[in-house]
Amino acid sequence: MGNDTATNPPRNQCRQCWYHAYAKDAHAHLGPRENCQPCVDHMLHGHPENLIVK
Ligand SMILES: [Zn+2]
Ligand SMILES: [Zn+2]
């Protein structure tokens, strides 16, 4: 697909949030006023340790 930024988060970034921020299809299924549940979850509860790039 050629979207290397989305799949190569730098150190200390959350893979999921990074992907959602840079992959243009990550939120493609959402309506304009719809929240992305995984993103909301990380916003409220923080990013799981296993998703942080070491
Ligand atoms: Zn996250
Ligand atoms: Zn998201």
Mean local confidence (pLDDT), 38-52: 98
The ligand with the least distance to the CA atom of 23 is 2
Report the candidate in 44, 38, 4, 2 with the shortest Cα–Cα distance to residue 20.
Answer: 38
Domain span holding position 8: 4-51
CA geometry: angle 38, 46, 41, nearest 5 deg: 25
State the distance from the centre of ligand 2 to the C-alpha of 6, rounded, in angstroms: 12
- Does the pLDDT value for residue 2 go beyond 60? no
- Per residue in 18-41, pLDDT (tens digit) is 999 999 999 999 998 999 999 999
pTM of the complete model: 0.88
- What are the residues whose beta carbons fall under 8 Å from the beta carbon of 42, sequence distance 6 or more? 14, 16, 17, 48
In this prediction, residue 14 has a pLDDT band, given cuts at 50, 70 and 90, of: very high
State the distance from the centre of ligand 1 to the C-alpha of 2, rounded, in angstroms: 23
- Count of the separate structural domains present in the chain: 1
